[in-house]
Chains A and B, each alone.
Chain A
Amino acid sequence: MNKILLKDLSFYFEGKKVLNSVNLEVLKNEILAIIGPAGSGKTTLLRLINRLEDATYNTKKEGDIFVDDKDIYSVDINVPELRRRIGMVFAQPVPLPRSIYENIIYGPRLAGIIYKKKLDELVEHSLRQAFLWDEVKDRLNQSALSLSGGQKQRLCIARTLALQPEVILLDEPCSSLDPISTAKIEEAMLRLKEKYTIIIVTNNTKQAARVADKVAFLLMGELIEYGQSRQVFTIPVDKRTDDYITGRFG
């Protein structure tokens, strides 16, 4: 059963086409990795699933996005609620300028959870899931800005997990991290897969090969290749995919 379905999805910024009729499906409890060179529309694609481009002016969207077979751009969608179901982690970790604890409970509290005990539980649980708990459990009330880059990124993941979403969108979560932090995040992802559906954008093809079930290759807004990750990385159908993976690109 597919969790997310993109149907002929095109997107324009100020008349410039950045996504060209993309068709893609993600199954439940599956990890899809989107790879592709800079500017190929990966981030835009994720943001569209989270309806984050709604507020950008001069844009146009064609085609549809379905989550659980429901068009998420239809008028009866409650957007904040949708965003709670579909968590998004940005490429740049942006902690809110508050304590670690406050960062995590920001979303749940907006959703109406007010019991301290429940919030405490959520904080611990999501921090554990993001492999951050042991490092920060003694300083939950310190400013999140004091964390290291890798910790910040895991905090952002934990913050998203605290929403108890169904889908997690990760935009290059490891782009600015050292190998150890990266390994931690990958480990977290593989663990999370049991409960969530994950789309991860990454420029690291090895990482994609390590964690993903399926891989999609985007190039200049076009979906060039899509398939089981083993197949895409070993016998890609399209020559351009092969070029990109083997680093012979451009």
Chain B
Amino acid sequence: MSINQNIIEKIVKIFLWIFTIITIFILFYIVGFILKNGIGGLSKEFFMEFPKSMGREGGIFPIIIGTILLTLAAVFIAGPLGIGTAVYLTEYTRENRITQMIRFGADCLAGIPSIVFGLFGFVLFVIKLKMGWSIISGGLTLSIMILPTIIRTSEEAIKAVPKPLREVSYSLGGTKWQTIVFIVIPQALPGILTGIILSIGRCVGETAAVIFTAGSSLRLPNSLFDSVRTMSVHFYILSREGISLKNAYATASVLIISIGMINFLSYWIMHRFIRRIEGK
């Protein structure tokens, strides 16, 4: 019986190890495969030049700019809304019907497939509101998509701010607003930033919602109402339409490296944040 159990224990452990190793192997395989084929295509020119003949040759300069602008637009819209929501949920009210509804709403929003955001954004912003394929249409669409992430992470971060700090501020004559601005938000900032950085990652990686709202122009945008192409969209078009596998790999490498850096950055900030909260 006992020997039997020991054997089962061993077998289970081996299987768990194997499955975990498979998962990690997949990760490394994907990352490795893309980088192996793409890193050779990376050069200063690739980053700094305009694409030629639909991206068959040349670089991805306007695409990098487009990705950044679109992401910034989304974050600038969703950031204040998300942080504001989190502040309301944590500072202004206790658990009740309304907060539960708001949380449920955010969860639902988080579950909506990106293509549904694309469908919505395309017909509402691009067509009905006549904003066309543009940074603003794409930014608005993406901002709805990342709003739940920002709410969630900001809420967690704000909740982690110790109550005594707030009370000190109150006792020194701080109003609620002053306490939020001077104590709560600065203390929660690293956590909030982590959420924003993760959202940036989502924006950079998103394709379905972007391609129908921001379009796929290869030109540098002049205004918020110009179309841009993000790296994900560019990669999709290059590989799907067989324009240039070499540039597709190179673009994917840039994508993966950016995502890696974004993850690392958020991890690093979070780590310091946790240390600070637990340390002192």
Contact = CB atoms under 8 A, between A and B. Distances in A.
B170 interface: yes
A159 interface: yes
Contacts of B172: 83-84, 106-107, 110, 159-160, 163
Interface string A77-118: 000110110011010101011000000001100110000000
B173 to A, nearest CB: 4
B173 A163 contact: yes
Interface string B169-200: 11111110010001100010000000000000
B260 to A, nearest CB: 31
Given A80-B175, A110-B178, A145-B280, A52 B170 contact: yes
A249 interface: no
B183 A81 contact: no
Interface of A: 50, 52, 55, 57, 80-81, 83-84, 87-88, 90, 92, 94, 96-97, 106-107, 110-111, 145, 156, 159-160, 163
A84 B280 contact: no
A163 B169 CA distance: 12
Contacts of B167: 52, 90, 94
Contacts of A57: 94
B180 to A, nearest CB: 12
A104 to B, nearest CB: 10
Nearest to B280: A145
Given A80-B175, A92-B164, 18 more contacts: A52-B170, A52-B171, A83-B170, A84-B173, A94-B164, A94-B165, A94-B167, A94-B168, A96-B168, A97-B165, A107-B174, A110-B172, A110-B175, A110-B182, A145-B280, A156-B168, A159-B172, A160-B172
A110 B182 CA distance: 10
Contact of A106 (B162, B164, B169, B280): B169
Q: Which 10 A-B pairs have the closest CB atoms?
A: A107-B172, A84-B173, A88-B171, A94-B164, A80-B173, A83-B173, A80-B175, A94-B168, A107-B173, A110-B174
Nearest to A143: B280
Contacts, number: 58
A55 B178 CA distance: 15
A55 B169 CA distance: 13
Interface in B108-140: none
Interface string B144-174: 0000000000000000001011011111111
Contacts of A111: 173
Interface in B29-47: none
Contacts of A81: 173
A83 B172 CA distance: 6
A159 to B, nearest CB: 7
A90 B178 contact: no
A97 B173 CA distance: 18
Given A57-B94, A110-B178, A145-B280, A50 B168 contact: no
26 contacts: A52-B167, A52-B170, A80-B173, A83-B170, A84-B173, A87-B171, A88-B171, A90-B167, A90-B168, A90-B171, A94-B164, A94-B165, A94-B167, A96-B168, A96-B183, A97-B165, A97-B187, A106-B169, A106-B172, A107-B172, A110-B173, A110-B175, A110-B182, A156-B168, A160-B172, A163-B173
A159 B162 CA distance: 19
Contacts of A88: 171
Contacts of B162: 94
A34 to B, nearest CB: 18
B201 to A, nearest CB: 28
Contacts of A97: 165, 187, 276, 280
A176 to B, nearest CB: 14
Nearest to B171: A88
A84 B173 CA distance: 5
**Which of A90, A92, A94, A160 has the most chain B CB atoms inside 10 A of its CB?**
A94
Nearest to B94: A57
A169 to B, nearest CB: 9
B171 A83 contact: yes
B92 to A, nearest CB: 10
Nearest to B178: A110
B96 to A, nearest CB: 10
Contacts of B171: 50, 52, 83, 87-88, 90, 160
